Amino acid sequence: MTSSIIQNLDTLKKAQRLDSEIHQAQGLLEEIPAKRAKLKAEMEFEKGRLHELEKSLKDIQVKLKDRELELSQKENQIKKLDGQLSQVKTNKEYAALQQEVASLKADNSLLEEGIIHILDEVDAAKDETRKEKEKLALITKSFQEKDDALAGQEKTLQIRLAEMKKQRDEAVVQLPLELGELYQRIAFKKQGLALAAVNGENCAACQMNLRPQLLNEIRLGEQIIVCENCSRILYYEA
């Protein structure tokens, strides 16, 4: 095996094409857990919101029960006092009882107003809870679909990645040992792009202007020349 760049160019390009795809696939693969976590967080947020709405509905319903109980207690008291009215002996007692009844009735009328208001609150809270439940059901369904799709994507990418790595390794072992090692070192640092074509008088990867002497050596293609700026292996497109 010779280390001349010209004789190994096809293999190097093949390895680079695979490395570039590997890099892309790895990037996509790395994004998947965050995407899944984001979906899950969205669903958890809506779940939390529904939980809060249900709790506040329950609180309002408890408040309603308390007021209704209070109202019925006061109504009973009024009935009792009404019964006592016919049995009192003095005008003074009678007036006092009547005053008490009037005050209870006034209380009850306020209580009834409050209850009507709370009933409206219950309706509104029920409505909001129902809407949130529907929203959560939709989100849960779409979460499941999206999450399944992401899990499928993950699996496909992993299989594809393993296949491409195998092909890349098969290409790299065809290179002379030193060149293969150099290629891998640069590819690792340069996100899978270890090669750079010469474009006019420049490195096509970093646009660095190349010295005439260097251009000559690259054109000869007998030894490995790396860009002095970006460290990539330089070659002339045949």
Stretch that binds Zn ion, among 2-10, 51-59, 112-120, 228-236 (CB under 5 A): 228-236
Query: Interaction with Zn ion in 185-214: which residues (CB under 5 A)?
Result: 203, 205-206, 208
Among residues 61, 167, 184, 229, which is the contact residue for Zn ion, using CB under 5 A?
229
3-state secondary structure of 210: coil
We find the least distance from the C-beta atom of residue 12 to Zn ion, in angstroms, to be 16
How many of the other CB atoms lie within 10 Å of CB of 168? 21
Scanning the structure block, which residue is given the tokens 């009328």?
109
Among residues 46, 227, 233, 235, which is the contact residue for Zn ion, using CB under 5 A?
227
**What is the DSSP-derived secondary structure letter of residue 231?**
-
Tokens of 183: 């290629």
Q: For Zn ion, what does the binding mask look like between residues 76 and 115, x meaning CB under 5 A?
A: ----------------------------------------
Amino acid at 28: L
We find the least distance from the C-beta atom of residue 7 to Zn ion, in angstroms, to be 22
Around 197, how many Cα atoms within 13 Å sit in the side-chain half-sphere? 8
We find the least distance from the C-beta atom of residue 234 to Zn ion, in angstroms, to be 7
Q: Is residue 22 a contact point for Zn ion (CB under 5 A)?
A: no
Render the burial of 107-141: b for 16+ CB within 10 Å, e for the rest: ebeebeeebeebeebeeebeebbeebeeebeebee
Stretch that binds Zn ion, among 6-14, 127-135, 182-190, 219-227 (CB under 5 A): 219-227
Residues contributing to the site for Zn ion (CB under 5 A): 203, 205-206, 208, 227, 229-230
